[in-house]
Amino acid sequence: MFKLRVTLETVTRADGCTDWSVDYKKYQVLLGEPVRVKCALFYGYIRANYTIAQSSGLSLMWYKSSGHGDFEEPIPFDGIRMSKEEDSIWFRPTELQDGGLFSCVLRNTTYCMKVSMSLIVAENDTGLCYNARMKYFEKAELSKSKEISCPDIEDFILPSSEPVLWYKECKSKAWRQSVVQKGDTLLIHEVTEDDIGNYTCELKFGSFVHGTGFLK
């Protein structure tokens, strides 16, 4: 049997189930784009993966609520737009009503452990290709080199994936020679004041996946 890993999360017990409350990782996605919500139990709470847990006779169940402490309902997976795949829920694509808290419960007749994950689904800001509340920030120094990464795309990279496209202020750009794309990163060899601004990466995965960062 696997062992628990020590964490700093708050633990409560209800109905004989160990509840690790809401995980620190928040999933954020733009409306209409895909997202994979992973059961955090397998990524820091227990020393086991989904296959080991399943072979030990444990079942993984999913529930959803609109907020912490609210009533949780079992999730009716349709297997098309929303599907349960091993230790995760996939949304292909997301809808606004998908936002909320998703709880995964690992249990059998003598064992029960639970943790919740937050999913936020948001629309682009008016006239833009991103939502300002969801962008990340990158610091750069003038005249120094800077590498900008396309965030949280590891679940969407396939051997047949098309190259990641980069936009600045939501517009395609003819990059100067000192700006080079390397896989899913954009390398600026010598940062100038003109380089400050919003950079959006785009990856095709059925529909599109976008991530936006502000270089300052």
pLDDT per position as a tens digit, 67-83 = 655 678 889 888 889 99
Q: Is the pLDDT of residue 3 over 70?
A: no
Please give the order of strands across the beta sheet that includes 185-188.
146-149, 185-188, 179-182
pTM: 0.84
Q: Which of these CATH numbers, 1.10.3720.10, 2.40.50.100, 2.60.120.10, 2.60.40.10, describes 132-215? A: 2.60.40.10
Report residue 191 CA to chain centroid gap.
29
Task: At 212, list the tokens.
Answer: 């936006």
| 110 CB burial (10 A radius; 0-12, 13-18, 19+) | exposed
Task: At 24, list the tokens.
Answer: 């620190």
Q: Which of these CATH numbers, 3.60.70.12, 2.60.40.10, 3.30.230.10, 1.10.150.120, describes 12-122? A: 2.60.40.10
Please report, for residues 25, 89, 123, 142, 197, the alpha-carbon distance to residue 178 in angstroms, rounded to integers and kept in the order given. Answer: 35, 41, 34, 14, 17
pLDDT value, residue 68? 58
% helix / strand / coil in the chain, to the nearest 5?
10, 45, 45
Segments of the chain assigned to CATH 2.60.40.10: 12-122, 132-215
Q: 150, 184 in Cβ contact below 8 A?
A: yes
Q: C-alpha angle 212/129/183, rounded to 5°?
A: 45
What value does the mean pLDDT of the chain take?
87
The Cα–Cα gap between 35 and 81 comes to: 11
The Cα–Cα gap between 182 and 190 comes to: 16
pLDDT classification of 15: cutoffs 50, 70, 90: low
pLDDT value, residue 160? 63
pLDDT classification of 212: cutoffs 50, 70, 90: confident
The Cα–Cα gap between 177 and 188 comes to: 9
Q: 212, 202 in Cβ contact below 8 A?
A: no
Q: Is the pLDDT of residue 121 over 90?
A: yes
| Coil/strand/helix, residue 93 | coil
The Cα–Cα gap between 192 and 171 comes to: 19
